[in-house]
Structure 1
């Protein structure tokens, strides 16, 4: 009698095992992405006390955007406006703040214009990136006044252990042509990637019976990462985009370039520090039948971050020096300015409760001394819900 009762249980056992395996596989598929922009350190999107969105490589390939800001359109809290199609002036507003209040980073390096105040979103080559992190809400206590609305960080191709390469080409209406290629290799402790893009289009007329207004852009991204025996790494990244865009009444020749060198090493089991030196250029020549104008920006920055960890708590202390230089046809009253800053961030974890405190002090040659602070508190109700 006992044997008869056991048979149904034995028959159900093979069915239960696949169900458990399916649940485990489902959990693996639902693993949250790791983000680094919100706190300068790796956290899952759920652990971050900021509103964070990650756009991964698969999503970028599925959308196949023609412009970088197409990835941002439709994202919560972000509004994108433009003055036309390819290469026309584009603005990004995060949570209602101005265009110059959303910071654009490329592998941790700022990309901005001191003359316009904001990044040249329309010239950045979306085809050459593999990941984007969007942080909504003020991060000025970590990044300065450029991040009052939020931060958008683009990550270039990360060289893999296995050599890889790719080539793409396409054509479409309005004599649109695009081609791109890239390669990623590893040699010992050094990883290297290089990718390039060229696209152009005749465009369309802006007004009735007007001439076509085209766009041309040639871009390249190079990245080298060397793993140190100490457990740290040294990296070098360069991004350049150069071309021409036409509009009714004139045209613009443009060039944006960013070069950044980074060094991250452990000092002890509880202390890591990183150094970053970068330079970015934003140059435009506005050409019209009656008058030509030039706007050039060169920004240099040095940043030192120190991260101290004990148990599940973390303290970040850092310093930053930034210098902007402008030149061109405009007679500026001041052609350069320097900003120095000290900042810190404390993250504490008490079981289901997280507390984050941050403060930053800036000394700007043009605007004087200013202090910024922030506080965030989060509590996990269960594995899926957090307030």
Structure 2
């Protein structure tokens, strides 16, 4: 049995153990479910963790390559590298899935989504994924689940790495990182990277844009500093910077009319974070502040960025004060305050029309509390949160769950909770539509799960249902003009199957997702959601070799009224340690050169080849 699988099995047996005792055992730990570190086995929601070792063994080129291997996730993109890539979790949209970086929300203030293609993989240490509603802890957008991208270095760990790769469509990537202790108290991590690809024609329009290529150019850097001032007090600060230029296509052909247009998006993100943690005995507290600035320009590539008529500039200010106290070994309570301010700057404009003459902003103040209780074979959790928003008023959410270990290695659990998605700036304000009276989308989430360990196979079966009301959709008014409004209702029901086990030197991760996602207004299937998804990831290590093989099947979907055919996709990767410090390898995407579509009208890459190296001290 692999060490990772052994740890997972032991974790399944440790459900009743207190949190502080787990952190020194080496068993799987998550910080995403409750915002403080705890064993994954003490969380009733499904939790998946992707480590840095997993990322390296996949020889992944982007975070999207990693996230799409997770159960319950469908990845949608309008083309190849650099094109907008978003996730659908349990049928919930990208704007209904909360994405964090080191615990801080990074969903866009304009469209609510997170573009996974723009997050540099060289900065990522691990990814934690919690499925189901977590709005009672995190607030808005946590309807389908929460994805936490952790970049922070580990104190006491020294690692210096240089990575590079090259491949199809003139793909090139070079990045480096270093993580080390300055002294016994201080730890520093630095990373920087460069990536470019010529791309291909992502939106072919016959006779109009033949031969076009839509490429990508990205640069990134980060700095993370930690200082253990005393045994109880830790302070930290971080800066993440990315600047990406992505090409896309605006060409069209309708009857006798056609137009050739190759567009470019220039986007810069700067993320600052500063905080402190205090822990003594059974009490933990954390104070965290962050600022995220985002500048995006969209324009035809025949003009310069300075001439762009579509400009979006936002700032997000966040302050969190979190507390956790273990009253007794079985009973833990937590509470916190979150303050957030979203700003749409006055120099933003769409197609040459300004949004406002001055900055448009809104404030959100929230308070939450949670409690977990472990008693013999029982595990219970209860949480609640109230959000007071300057734009849509007060919104309350809550969640309750109960787990029963009826046998030492088997647990039956159930959860119920509410969640919501706040209207984005795009929903509320455009030069052509102002809808300040929009209410948040709301949801009611319920699930029941059975999990266990049988013959060294970890498995879980989960049935869930998500009812959404007041969904924000564009619809015509009485005069025929289109505006965003609270006009949608949907119901998403599904069953998820998961298993992890080892056969000799090969570790297997399998998942199957069966769901029915329907619009309750007209009975149609929600766009781009497949009824069936199957995934398998196999990883092997022997002597100086490592290898991985991933397979995915997705049944038919509908993009509006267009049917997208089912497809099966395989990716393979292998690496060889030439020296203890030097590994060379490669990856083949779309191994069998399948022709498939993720979005109507957009092409996907054919079979692609990549070679890479990693040198680590």
Structure 1 and Structure 2 fold alike (TM over 0.5): yes
Distance 2:187 2:290 in 1: 20
Counterpart for residue 259 of structure 1 = 272
User: Aligned to 2:410, what secondary structure does the other structure show?
Assistant: coil
User: Aligned to 2:56, what secondary structure does the other structure show?
Assistant: helix
Counterpart for residue 16 of structure 1 = none
User: Aligned to 1:211, what secondary structure does the other structure show?
Assistant: coil
Distance 1:386 1:350 in 2: 14
Within the candidate set 84, 93, 98, 2:93 is matched to 98
Distance 2:409 2:268 in 1: 46
Which is bigger in relative contact order (C-alpha 8 A, separation at least 6)? 2
Matched, 1:360 2:385: yes
Distance 1:175 1:23 in 2: 37
Distance 1:92 1:385 in 2: 31
1:111–1:258 Cα contact (<8 Å) kept: no
Distance 1:307 1:46 in 2: 18
Q: Deviations over 1:307-331 (max 9, x none)?
A: 1112221111111110000121143
Say if 1:144 and 1:57 are closer, same or farther in 2 by CA, change over 3 A.
same
User: Aligned to 2:57, what secondary structure does the other structure show?
Assistant: helix
Counterpart for residue 404 of structure 2 = 379
Matched, 1:271 2:289: no
Within the candidate set 37, 45, 48, 1:50 is matched to 45
2:102–2:152 Cα contact (<8 Å) kept: no
Counterpart for residue 338 of structure 2 = 320
1:109–1:258 Cα contact (<8 Å) kept: no
Superposition pairs of residues 1-387 of structure 1, within 5 angstroms: 27=6, 30-32=9-11, 33-186=28-181, 187-206=183-202, 207=204, 209-248=210-249, 249-266=262-279, 269-288=281-300, 289=302, 292-311=309-328, 312-327=330-345, 328-330=348-350, 331-332=354-355, 335-387=360-412
Give runs of ≥4 in structure 1 deviating > 3 Å: 22-32, 330-334
Say if 1:383 and 1:221 are closer, same or farther in 2 by CA, change over 3 A.
farther
Distance 1:175 1:157 in 2: 31
> Which deviates further from its counterpart, 336-345 or 144-153?
144-153
2:122–2:191 Cα contact (<8 Å) kept: no
> Which deviates further from its counterpart, 281-290 or 131-140?
281-290
Distance 2:134 2:5 in 1: 34
- Deviation, 1:29, is 7.4
Structure with bigger helix share is: 1
1:357–1:374 Cα contact (<8 Å) kept: yes
TM-score by length of 2: 0.57
2:35–2:103 Cα contact (<8 Å) kept: no
Long gaps (5+) in structure 1? 1-21
- Deviation, 1:71, is 1.4
Counterpart for residue 17 of structure 1 = none
1:159–1:192 Cα contact (<8 Å) kept: no
Distance 1:214 1:384 in 2: 50
User: Aligned to 2:82, what secondary structure does the other structure show?
Assistant: coil
- Deviation, 1:119, is 1.8
User: Aligned to 1:119, what secondary structure does the other structure show?
Assistant: coil
TM-score by length of 1: 0.89
> Which deviates further from its counterpart, 317-326 or 100-109?
100-109
Say if 1:322 and 1:90 are closer, same or farther in 2 by CA, change over 3 A.
same
Distance 2:288 2:397 in 1: 22
Q: Deviations over 1:263-296 (max 9, x none)?
A: 1113x53332110000112221001258631111
Long gaps (5+) in structure 2? 12-27, 250-261, 413-617
User: Aligned to 2:407, what secondary structure does the other structure show?
Assistant: coil
Q: Deviations over 1:33-70 (max 9, x none)?
A: 11110112222222211111011111111112222122
Distance 1:344 1:25 in 2: 33
2:179–2:190 Cα contact (<8 Å) kept: yes
Distance 1:59 1:214 in 2: 27
Say if 1:163 and 1:53 are closer, same or farther in 2 by CA, change over 3 A.
closer
User: Aligned to 1:210, what secondary structure does the other structure show?
Assistant: coil
- Deviation, 1:377, is 0.6
Say if 1:26 and 1:282 are closer, same or farther in 2 by CA, change over 3 A.
closer
User: Aligned to 2:42, what secondary structure does the other structure show?
Assistant: coil
Counterpart for residue 475 of structure 2 = none
Distance 1:27 1:244 in 2: 44
